[in-house]
Chains A and B, each alone.
Chain A
Amino acid sequence: MVNNINKDFYNTILAQAFSPCGNYLVTGDIYGNLAIFNVSKVLTPDVNFSKEELTPKIKITVKADYQINSLVTTPNHLLVGGFGEIYAYTWKSIKGSSRSIHVAWSIEIPNGHEELNKAEVNALIYDEDNGNLIAGCGDNNIYILNIESRNVLKVLSGHSDYIHCLTKNGSDLLSSGEDGVVNIWDLRTNKAHNKIEPFKYKEIERPDLGKWIGAVHCNEDYILCGGGPRLSLFHYRFLAQSTIFPFEDKGIHVAQIHDDKVLAGGRCKLFYQASLNGNVISEIPISGPTAYSMVKQVDPYKIMCIAGSSPKIDISTNFIYKDQQLCLYF
């Protein structure tokens, strides 16, 4: 029996998030669908474990054929960064047994009311300290929104092309964009007080891939960033370039510092874990050509999910090798 081609065969997952309880994994794909997986059942399989558990429990269409660019979890809501709009779903409704799940509320990105010129919400951060939402958008701006009032509090503009990634460190916000710049903003003054331009460093530039920075992350001492340029570490204080990671990639889309280790992936057959001085610790082969999203949690289950341009999601429970594979369709 020959299958008919499934739309999901060519699906790409750009964003993932765990529910606050840690039992569910939500993914957002380019067709505008959310897929909810029950991770607890996959990780603690009982006797009647069937293949169906590896496919989504529910699918929600947010806005058909408009890709979901980012997802973020707040204690009560799942926030979905779409095209020109941020949608919110309550976790209650997602976890519930109801078949039809509706958007609880939504916020429109103020810029660009023209249909063709709306901005993607490429990066979302939830600021637990003050309950604010930070959104990095396709119109080159970063918006700081209040969840309760759903108003735009501030607009940070300084990039000359769209935002790829955001990360927060105390009162500092780091943003990276297609223009190749990593800006370091002070949230108290709403000004960029420093910036790094990795494409200007000879050792890490890759002109054939472009200057865009696809991922940025930091801890107290280091800033990790990469994209068109190679993945590399910068000292936080001196902004001096330090380690260059020897990955065989064609562009970085995911990079995080975790327990003094670096987790990174992108257009590459492997997802890397490396020490801060550049030694590769583990390589996980991924399903698609590119990894766009990686989420991990330690409690209640230690799990890392890597997704990208494939309908399959690779799961690792020890961050070292692949244990299981979820799939968007049966």
Chain B
Amino acid sequence: MVKENSNAVKKKRKANTTEADAETDIYKKACDFEENESQNRNSSEDAELFFQICQEIHDFLDQVRELKQSSGDTSQKLSCLTDIVVKICVIKKLNRLDKLAHVLGREALNTEKQKCDSIKLTYQNLVYELHHLVTETNKCLSFKSEDEDIELVSFEDFMKNAPEAVSKKFIDFDPNDSEQDHALRLARLEWELTQRKNLAEECKALEEKKKKVVEEITERKERLNDLLPLLTTVIKATKPLQEHLGMSSELTRKEHKLAPLLSDPLYVLYANIVAYKSVFETNINVSILGDKDDATQFNEAQEVSHSNNLNEEDSEPESDLPEVEEVVEVKKRRHRKSVQQVDPVEEKKKKLLEVHPLTVQLSLSITDGPSLVIIFSYYTKLKTITVKSQVDMPSNFTSDTAREILSGHNILSELLDNDTGMESPNPSTAYQLKKLGLGSFQTLVPDIGYAYGWAQSICGIDFLTPKRYCDKLSQQSVETILKITKKRLNTRTHLAKQMQQLEKNILSEIPEELQIPTTAISSLNKWSSTTYQDFCLAEYTQHLLDENLVSQSDLFYSAKISRDEATLNLYIVIRNTYPIPAPIVALCLDYKGKYTSTNCDEIRDLERTINIDWNYGIRSSSWLLSAQITHLCSYLDVYLETLDSNVFQPNAKFIRSVSGRNKKRPFKFRKIGTGLFTQY
């Protein structure tokens, strides 16, 4: 079979060669033919054929060898060799065919590969498109419009109020249908817009109306203002007539009309002060502040509630205790639901701090000085008088410390011993406050004013006796309290005058009878007010704090006295009751180190001489502080001159610079000649 094949090939070849003669491009044809042939042939058969031919060649070569050895027939040998050549030709042909088949296969593979690539590309494009679409849909999903924030009329209202043409579509509204939902939203928005437009127009109209009304009001006010001078001229004109008829001035008459409406204690106060004024002084003024109608209303309300109370009074003692417990329970509950129940506490607080609408204003003044205005108000539930004060200063007090001294709330503090007004004089107040959980009385003071003990007594309130407002008590105390208050105002004015000068670094004049050194070289060069906190923080005030010599309600100042390189820092504590006791001074000398009364005997001795033995009583109020500072300046000179006479030229005269085992310095001034400093 193979042979036949090979024969066939030969034949074809022969055919080919014959055709080649006929045709011009025979080579191409041969190529085409071979290409076709290689396509159509089975390669594995070819392979077999190849191996077979090889074997045959092998056999022929064996034959040739044998022939050579036997040195037989040469022709046979030659035919064998030709056969071999033929066979080799066939092998060559096979080889060519194989090569062609190979090339063809490769081409086919390439075309397949290209196809595959293009498919992959389209696939990738599709994936990309998918991605893009997904992001787009996400964007759409996350879309938010501002309309969502607009507060719309609720659906029910919309259905009710909107014109039927709009709302009809949504009667059988299905919330799951998103398209319908959207349509509904649009409709509601539109409806909202129209409504808002309407409202805005309405608002505009109302505003215009308001403007008109305001104009009208101002016009009327102006008219009323014009009326006032007219009325006053009328009053003026009637005055001679009134005097002629012996009628008292209109104003006091009005006030006296108000007086019966005052709360009981304030009425007692008012009556007594008016009486006092008519007998003694002309520079106190008393008046009633408040609205008459309010007062009558308030009094009526009080009476009603009072009569109610009377009815309940029988059952009160029994209900008292359980009530307290209830309050405690309520409180516990309140802790849990605190947010909801804040209001009742506020209301109760308001109720407890109920104040009578009428207040009494008392003003005291001293000639050429400030005037003090005291306003007394009565807290009906606390049954306590509270006081608010204010000082009108004449314009010549310009410095800050001076103004502070006069305007401070503490001008009335400690008029009597320890009467700071920070604690309620009514013993039951503490329980009342506790019952409502309002904290201490002190926290209320800024709102309601100071509850000084003297204020209660001049209003005739005595908490120990049953609640009758005692006229006698009031009478007794009005005089003394007014005197003390006046004295206080006086001493404060004196103090303020001194402060004003100290701030300008001038020392006030001191009466001649006092032996006081006048030739100081050291001088005050700073004076300012400070606070309790600052005072406590200073290192050299600890000993005063330890001894409990200072309280928070005192007035605190800091100052500096200096001479050349030496500086004496001082803190001054002034009690509300100045000049008794005298102001207390704490010292710190800054010269080659810091010296205070805790590490230096001389400074301690200096502090002693400045702080002690100022028993000049109330009359010293106009000069005490200045005298202390003057002494301090001179004694600082003495100390510095005895300490380092090379640096500080001696100016003060003293017999001995130091004496005694304690090396005492001459901190005592004697007016002998031009003045002499001695130890004793």
Contact = CB atoms under 8 A, between A and B. Distances in A.
Interface of A: 1-7, 9-10, 12, 14, 30, 65-67, 69-70, 83, 116-117, 120, 122-123, 138, 162, 164-165, 178, 212, 214, 253, 267, 269, 288-290, 292, 309
Given A12-B601, A83-B680, A116-B655, A7 B612 contact: yes
Given A1-B418, A289-B599, A9 B659 contact: no
Contact of A2 (B551, B664, B678): B551
Contact of A3 (B548, B599, B607, B676): B548
Given A10-B608, A65-B680, A66-B680, 12 more contacts: A2-B554, A3-B548, A5-B584, A67-B664, A83-B680, A116-B680, A120-B659, A120-B660, A138-B660, A269-B599, A289-B600, A292-B662
Contacts of B655: 116-117
Given A10-B604, A290-B601, A30 B662 contact: yes
B647 interface: no
Interface string B504-546: 0000000000000000000000000000000000000000000
Given A116-B655, A292-B662, A309-B601, A5 B680 contact: no
Interface residues of B, number: 33
Interface of B: 418, 547-551, 554, 581, 584, 597-601, 604-605, 607-608, 611-613, 655, 658-664, 670, 676, 678, 680
A117 B670 CA distance: 14
Contacts of B663: 212
A10 B659 contact: no
A12 B662 contact: yes
B612 A10 contact: yes
Contacts of A290: 601, 662
A113 B614 CA distance: 30
A289 B662 contact: no
Given A2-B550, A9-B547, A116-B678, A292 B661 contact: yes
B661 A122 contact: yes
Nearest to B582: A5
A152 B680 CA distance: 25
Contacts of B549: 2-5, 9
A267 B547 contact: no
12 contacts: A2-B550, A4-B581, A5-B581, A10-B597, A14-B661, A70-B661, A116-B655, A138-B659, A212-B663, A290-B601, A290-B662, A292-B661
Contacts of A165: 661
Nearest to B610: A10
A93 to B, nearest CB: 27
Contacts of B584: 5
Nearest to B611: A5
A214 B661 contact: yes
Contacts of A7: 612-613
A229 B605 CA distance: 24
A69 B661 contact: yes
B678 A253 contact: no
B418 A69 contact: no
A12 B662 CA distance: 9
A54 B98 CA distance: 134
Contacts of B581: 4-5
**6 shortest A-B CB distances, which residue pairs?**
A10-B608, A2-B551, A309-B601, A120-B660, A3-B548, A290-B601
A164 B661 contact: yes
A267 B603 CA distance: 13
Nearest to A138: B659
Contact of B660 (A3, A14, A116): A14
B607 A10 contact: yes
A86 B612 CA distance: 27
B660 A122 contact: yes
Contacts of A83: 680
Nearest to A309: B601
A178 B658 contact: yes
